Structure 1
Amino acid sequence: MCLCLGRRALTAPNVYSMTTQRENFRAELRAGWEEQQAVHEPDRELRFRLMLDYVEQLSGTPQRVLDLACGPGSITRRVLDRFPAASVVAVDIDPVLLDLARDAFAGDARVSVISRQLAAADWTDGLAGGGFDAVLTATAMHWFPPDALADVYAGVARLLRPGGIFANADHFPIAEPVLRAAGDRLHEHDLRKAFASGVESCDEWYERAYAEPQYAGLWEERRSLFAHWSGDLLERDGWHIDVLRRNGFERAGTVWRRSNDALIVAVKA
């Protein structure tokens, strides 16, 4: 008995220290995510605010929200800050991002963080539960091949209640090629300046996160999970609007644009 108590006395501080280090590392990773995303996506906060503005204007105060490809919970946090009575289901497939999101909202009964492979036909199973008021996503859907993204949009339509809102802030390039290329050059110039000043890039953030010993072995898992994603579905916003309308959204349009980034909002019939 004394020996066991002695072991607790000796090891507890180390366990506590390791737990604190893990918590601090997760918090730092979440902060780093916000910083590098703000560099890659100028006016990021404006896009989030407009997204929630349109939800409230078109559909009222949301009670149930789906954060699609949630990452570490950026949209979820902003939904809860603005609509404290809302509940959020946050879905992703990246193992590290899911861990960061689960840690961020641990103990918050308003949030469920779920692993879902959006490329799978059954990704919506068990998520409907009476329908969502809003499905929100940012800087993720451009990774899907066209056919797969059309299936995701169809799934979103099944999950939303009538009159529910879908909002997607992402890369939707200008159709005119010269203007599109000029926008890309301007963005690349801004990125080079930011990175030269020491700001972490998105790729560097992923490399640092997956190099952490607590995530050992997860990089190969991630590569397998994302093997089917092509990246850079750079279709004009009209292409996305057409697909949304074919999948049951009676109204869909671009409500904000900055160069080759835009926000599309759609209302389910």
Structure 2
Amino acid sequence: MTTDDDLRRTWEDQQAVHKIDREQRFAVMLDYVERLTGAPKRVLDLACGPGSITRRVLDRFPAVRVVAVDLDPLLLRLATGAFAGDERVNVLSRNLDHPDWTTGIDGDFDAVLTATALHWLSPPAFARVCRAVAGLIRPGGVFLNADHVLIDDERLRAAADALHQQHLDTAFAAGVQSCDDWYRRAYALPQYRSLWAERQRLFTHWSGDLMRSASWHLDELHAAGFETADVVWRYGNNAVTVAIR
């Protein structure tokens, strides 16, 4: 029988296929947090999934307190189970597409982190989230987003897309599980089959991936009230942006 531990493990496996150098990307994010804020006392994990970022934050900064939010019902159950009994972590259900998602979340975070998630938002919703995050971070705190942040030059962007697709085609031809395969198999399990209709209802707002350039992302962060923002790591059209409040 497939257990929750199996699902968390295979989530990490398939995400590592989709995101080359995924561990380096996480390490870079935490390096910048520590360099810019010191060892953080409070971290917000946006769209936490089964807890990938939260786990790495706890391993790096054992004294930290983390608020982890997501919308997907299965991923929330996996995250809740992963940190059950750990008083450092509070897992909450929140829809980032709703303007009131910050209700009940106290501010003054040292860092807000998110990875491979905000592309689910429309441009107006992304702008709202950036403004809300700016309001939750203490002065001098940081917001790090690892996601689709496209190369500005069209030819280089197209080359990066082609290279990434070549990598995926090779991996999937060898039988590696894709992200879509993971969701289909996880929600087909008897213990989670009943949650599929709820997930479909919760994600009716999604109309396609948010694919915008680095300059667009940085403009949105500055408009949201961040003092400075820039891309600090990149692999093709996947990048990490850091914004300082």
Q: TM-score range by the shorter chain?
A: over 0.9
| 1:196 correspondence with 2:173 | yes
The residue correspondences of 1:1-269 to structure 2 (distance < 5 A) are 25-128=3-106, 130-268=107-245
Preserved CA contact (<8 Å) 2:45 2:69? yes
CA distance in 2, matches of 1:260, 1:216: 34
RCO comparison, higher one (Cα < 8 Å, 6+): 2
SS at match of 1:80: helix
Q: Which amino acid in structure 1 is aligned with residue 108 of structure 2?
A: G
Secondary structure of 2:227's counterpart equals strand
Aligned residue for 2:29, secondary structure, equals: helix
Of the structure 1 ranges 59-68 and 230-239, higher mean CA displacement relative to structure 2 is found in: 230-239
- Deviation string for 1:41-67 (max 9, x for gaps)? 001111100101101111111010000
**Which is greater in Rg?**
1
Runs of 5+ unmatched residues, structure 2:
none
Q: Which has the higher helix share?
A: 1
Identical aligned pairs, as a percentage? 62
- TM-score, structure 2 normalization: 0.98
Secondary structure (helix, strand or coil) at the match of 1:214 reads coil
Distance 1:95 1:188 in 2: 29
User: For this pair of structures, how many residues does the alignment match?
Assistant: 245
SS of the residue aligned with 1:55?
helix
TM-score norm. by structure 1 comes to: 0.89
* DSSP 3-state at the match of 1:175: coil
- Partners in 2 of 1:244 and 1:179 — Cα distance? 24
Give 1:231 shift.
2.6
SS in 2 for 1:217: helix
Contact residue 152 and residue 215 of structure 2 kept, 8 A:
no
Q: Which runs of 4+ in 1 moved over 6 A?
A: none
Partner SS for 2:69? strand
C-alpha displacement at 1:217, in angstroms? 2.0
CA distance in 1, matches of 2:218, 2:208: 19
In 1, are the aligned partners of 2:233 and 2:240 still within 8 Å (CA)?
Answer: yes
- State the alpha-carbon separation in 2 of the partners of residues 93 and 253 from structure 1: 28
Q: Which runs of 5+ in 1 are unaligned?
A: 1-20
